[in-house]
């Protein structure tokens, strides 16, 4: 059984790596071809080549992208990757889940569980969620960084408008002067408007990538000002002051609730860490829980359920909305 898992894991990793390399090379070829169309030396050759119909052979990764393109979970994955600013396709993201699951299961099977199939399956299920956990962490980091930048972005926007800039010129100046992730997101808004998308739709796309109540308030104010008129600089200045006070209040609440959050983390993680430690120093002592299906498995399931419930309750208590 161990040999089968190892061989299957190695084969799956090789297939995924080959598919990723082929997709990257195919992307590079497409980019070079598009750039070549604007070169004087190759423009006529490319036009002549395009005039001749030819069949394009798709790679394995591209076929996976086409197969997953219209699926609901694929659209959700695209949104998550866009919010995390990760340059991955849906096929590559799915492949990352498979690789993580196989690697974690293999390591646990040979090192930790020492041949236990149940522990290996549990570890594989946990490993399958590691890429999603990483993407969620990147999303949270980018969103928090963007929200903390909003007061500075509004200050630059107000100063640019009072200097005589238009809304688009002010956004272009913000994209050049601000650090990431604010600069990257504002630059994307400017690029979408330059490509023909309306200002309302471009700002709506920004709100989809960076869901925030403060940003929603800013976008609503900008859209109303574009329809009915008014002094946008004064409106944004008032909103910026409100956001600064809200961020300051959130920081004070985080300090006051830090003890509760740390306590919840320790209480939730202590039983799991203790079980892993006991499993390493005395496998037979903890192994009886996994061998006894009538008593051990329900106790493990009940313990995990209560740990998750306690963590959720503590997180709900310390999560104070402003």
| 181 prior amide bond cis, ω within 30 | yes
Query: Which among 60, 83, 81 has a CA at the least distance from the CA of 12?
Result: 60
**Do the domain assignments include residue 133?**
no
Residue 168: give its domain's CATH number: 1.20.81.30
Q: Quick one: 191 and 244 in the same domain?
A: yes
Residue keyed to tokens 């109303």 = 224
**How much is the pLDDT for 110?**
75
Per DSSP, helices labelled H in the chain are 2-36, 43-51, 60-68, 72-84, 90-107, 117-128, 130-162, 167-177, 182-194, 199-209, 213-228, 232-256, 258-281, 283-291, 296-318
Q: Quick one: 24 and 123 in the same domain?
A: yes
Q: Quick one: 9 and 121 in the same domain?
A: yes
**How much is the pLDDT for 45?**
42
**How much is the pLDDT for 50?**
44
**How much is the pLDDT for 48?**
40
Please tell me the distance from the alpha carbon of residue 146 to that of residue 64, in angstroms, as a whole number.
33
**Do the domain assignments include residue 135?**
no
**Do the domain assignments include residue 180?**
yes
Q: Quick one: 249 and 263 in the same domain?
A: no
Please tell me the distance from the alpha carbon of residue 163 to that of residue 7, in angstroms, as a whole number.
66
**How much is the pLDDT for 166?**
83
Q: Quick one: 63 and 114 in the same domain?
A: yes
Kindly report the pTM of this predicted structure: 0.63
SS (H, E, C) 233-257: HHHHHHHHHHHHHHHHHHHHHHHHC
Q: Quick one: 118 and 230 in the same domain?
A: no
**Do the domain assignments include residue 136?**
no
Q: Quick one: 149 and 241 in the same domain?
A: yes
Among the candidates 253, 277, 306, a domain finishes at 253
**How much is the pLDDT for 243?**
86
Query: Which among 179, 241, 174 has a CA at the least distance from the CA of 214?
Result: 241
pLDDT < 50: residue spans in the chain = 25, 28-55
**How much is the pLDDT for 248?**
85
Domain interval for residue 268? 258-318
Tens-digit pLDDT profile for residues 255-287 = 888 888 888 888 888 888 888 888 778 877 777
Looking at the structure of the chain, the number of domains it has is 3
SS (H, E, C) 111-141: HHCCCCHHHHHHHHHHHHCHHHHHHHHHHHH
Among the candidates 212, 232, 253, a domain finishes at 253
**How much is the pLDDT for 213?**
84
Q: Quick one: 94 and 66 in the same domain?
A: yes
Q: Quick one: 26 and 64 in the same domain?
A: yes
Among the candidates 104, 128, 152, a domain finishes at 128
**Do the domain assignments include residue 166?**
yes
Tens-digit pLDDT profile for residues 73-82 = 777 777 778 7
Contacts 24+ apart (CB under 8 A), 134-137: 135/80, 135/81, 135/84, 135/86, 135/93, 136/80, 136/84
Q: Quick one: 247 and 265 in the same domain?
A: no
Q: Quick one: 7 and 113 in the same domain?
A: yes
**How much is the pLDDT for 8?**
57
Q: Quick one: 122 and 16 in the same domain?
A: yes
């Amino acid at each position: 059984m161990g040999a089968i898992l190892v061989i299957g894991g190695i084969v799956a990793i090789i297939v995924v790596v080959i598919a990723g390399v082929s997709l990257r090379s195919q992307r590079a070829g497409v980019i070079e071809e598009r750039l070549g169309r604007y070169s004087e030396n190759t423009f006529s050759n490319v036009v002549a080549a395009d005039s001749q119909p030819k069949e394009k052979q798709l790679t394995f990764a591209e076929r996976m992208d086409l197969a997953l393109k219209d699926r609901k979970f694929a659209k959700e994955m695209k949104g998550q990757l866009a919010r995390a600013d990760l340059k991955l396709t849906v096929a590559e993201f799915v492949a990352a889940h498979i690789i993580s699951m196989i690697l974690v299961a293999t390591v646990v099977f040979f090192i930790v569980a020492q041949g236990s199939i149940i522990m290996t399956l549990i570890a594989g299920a946990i490993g399958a969620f590691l890429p999603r956990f990483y993407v969620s962490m990147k999303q949270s980091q980018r969103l928090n960084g963007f929200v903390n930048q909003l007061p500075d972005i509004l200050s630059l926007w107000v100063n640019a408008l009072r200097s005589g800039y238009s809304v688009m010129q002010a956004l272009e100046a913000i994209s050049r002067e601000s650090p990431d992730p604010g600069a990257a997101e504002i630059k994307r808004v400017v690029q979408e408007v330059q490509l023909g998308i309306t200002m309302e739709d471009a700002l709506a796309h920004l709100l989809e990538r960076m869901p925030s109540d403060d940003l929603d308030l800013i976008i609503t104010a900008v859209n109303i000002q574009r329809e009915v008129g008014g002094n946008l600089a004064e409106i944004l200045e008032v909103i910026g002051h409100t956001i600064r006070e809200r961020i300051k209040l959130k920081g004070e609440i985080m300090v006051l609730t830090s003890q509760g959050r740390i306590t919840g983390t320790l209480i939730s993680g202590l039983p799991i860490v203790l079980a892993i430690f006991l499993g390493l120093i005395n496998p037979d002592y903890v192994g009886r829980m996994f061998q006894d299906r009538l008593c051990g498995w329900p106790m493990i399931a009940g313990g995990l359920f209560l740990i998750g419930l306690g963590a959720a309750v503590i997180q709900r208590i310390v999560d104070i909305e402003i």
